[in-house]
Amino acid sequence: MTQIAVIGAGVTGLTTAYELLDRGFEVTVFDRHRYAAMETSFANGGQLSASNAETWTQWGTVLKGLKWMLSADAPLLVNPAPTLHKMRWMAEFLSNIPRYRANTVETVRLAIAARAVLFEMAAREGIDFDLERRGILHFYSNGKDLAHARMVNGLLAAGGLERRELSPGEMREVEPALCGDFVGGFLTPSDSSGDIHKFTTGLAAACARRGASLRFGTEVDGLEARDGVRIVSGGREERFDGVVVSAGIRSRAFAAMLGDRVNIYPVKGYSITVQLADAASQAAAPWISLLDDRAKIVASRFGKDRFRIAGTAEFNGANRDIRADRIRPLVEWCEKHFPGVSTEHATPWAGLRPMTPSMLPRVGRGKRPGVFYNTGHGHLGWTLSAATARLVAERVAGELAPRRTEVRLPVAAAA
């Protein structure tokens, strides 16, 4: 049987492993942690959000970034220390500005395709991940932001996404718990939210049931494409027929070992998980998932007693420190918009988004035989990974084994 190694047991690695198993491959998943989903797929914003497909490659983001550089609690923070990787990444980010529209439309198409695949996986394997299919509400507190949202809505519609503009009164009907002065919002009924960690660990268990070998607690030290692919770990070398690199922010280093360039920069974000420990907090928290475009904050309810709030982007290398001045705005946002929710028990977290300069994931083959990538999903890995996993598994099947299934995605393959 054809043997494929997957590097990384985050959401992209495990969705890939699952799709490869479906096509009859013998799959081994490597991860340095003892459990699945311990890095960026641990405590993100929870949104399965085609409505958040707008890429950041636009002059507006650059100008805001420059303005915000002076403020420690701004949504975007850039450490001004010029490392070579950061400078090159940013130069490439700027060169992608002309593709802002095309990349946004491509992302929304991929996100719509991903939903069906993800729901199908969860249903087949009986994975409970606190899925809420009540839609996502974007809200705006000034006319300028709402005008920009209307422009973006045109791009999302071009990608096939149906949304509805709401007046402040209609917003109150849709989510009575949300407090604040708003000029309007957009509701995307087909979007949803759920706990990425629960889903990914559930999928790890499903992969194990279906015969995958899960090598947790195993750091991969080296990769070489020679007569198949060699994986070096703990001084031991193993041969596989192929490899899929889904190693989050480490994918760049692995790609370099395999003769490829995959330009991924770690973009840090933070979340708090508020325990809704009492009945008053449970009643005061929203059920619909929310996106505050100005603050760049997203929020999702996980079942009766958890409320996740996430946001901010920080360009500061592979630094995972949880900074108090970046967590405070998330707590304050909760207290402002949901004053009845107790923030006494809020667990902070920081994760590193594996971001490419185009903001499109790298999905497909590398230069050498047997080498594949499904990585670089940036701020949308939870939203996109089920679709890209299917695409890359099809590519692997096309090159390393006879096809056993047909691809069912209504999207063009990403690069």
Ligand X SMILES: Cc1cc2nc3c(=O)[nH]c(=O)nc-3n(C[C@H](O)[C@H](O)[C@H](O)COP(=O)(O)OP(=O)(O)OC[C@H]3O[C@@H](n4cnc5c(N)ncnc54)[C@H](O)[C@@H]3O)c2cc1C
Contact footprint for ligand X (CB under 6 A): 7-13, 30-33, 38-41, 44-47, 49, 219-220, 246-248, 250, 269-271, 298, 310, 351, 353-354, 375, 377-383
Shortest distance, position 175 Cβ to ligand X, whole Å: 17
Shortest distance, position 127 Cβ to ligand X, whole Å: 16
Tell me the C-alpha distance between 8 and 255, whole Å. Answer: 13
Tell me the C-alpha distance between 29 and 103, whole Å. Answer: 30
For ligand X, which is the closer residue by CB, 10 or 184?
10
For ligand X, which is the closer residue by CB, 183 or 222?
222
Shortest distance, position 167 Cβ to ligand X, whole Å: 26
Shortest distance, position 36 Cβ to ligand X, whole Å: 7
Nearest Cα neighbor of 360 from 172, 188, 109 is 109
Confirm if 310 and 298 have CB atoms less than 8 A apart. yes
For ligand X, which is the closer residue by CB, 7 or 391?
7
Tell me the C-alpha distance between 162 and 166, whole Å. Answer: 13
Q: Are strands 184-188 and 242-245 parallel, antiparallel or unpaired?
A: unpaired
For ligand X, which is the closer residue by CB, 107 or 173?
107
Confirm if 389 and 27 have CB atoms less than 8 A apart. no
Phi, psi dihedral angles at 398 (to 5 degrees): -65, -30
Shortest distance, position 205 Cβ to ligand X, whole Å: 16
Shortest distance, position 404 Cβ to ligand X, whole Å: 25
Tell me the C-alpha distance between 365 and 384, whole Å. Answer: 18
Shortest distance, position 382 Cβ to ligand X, whole Å: 3
Tell me the C-alpha distance between 3 and 226, whole Å. Answer: 15
For ligand X, which is the closer residue by CB, 140 or 382?
382
Tell me the C-alpha distance between 30 and 305, whole Å. Answer: 33
For ligand X, which is the closer residue by CB, 33 or 164?
33
- 118 by DSSP, 3-state: which? helix
For ligand X, which is the closer residue by CB, 167 or 319?
319
The 8-class DSSP code of residue 97 comes to: G
Residue 71 CB contacts under 8 Å (≥ 6 apart), including other chains: none
Shortest distance, position 245 Cβ to ligand X, whole Å: 9
For ligand X, which is the closer residue by CB, 183 or 190?
190
For ligand X, which is the closer residue by CB, 105 or 262?
262
Query: Taking the C-alpha atoms of 99, 101, 105 and 108 in order, what is their torsion angle to the nearest 10 degrees?
Result: 100
**Burial tier of 208 (Cβ tally within 10 Å: 0-12, 13-18, 19+):** middle
Confirm if 264 and 297 have CB atoms less than 8 A apart. no
Tell me the C-alpha distance between 281 and 330, whole Å. Answer: 17
Shortest distance, position 402 Cβ to ligand X, whole Å: 28
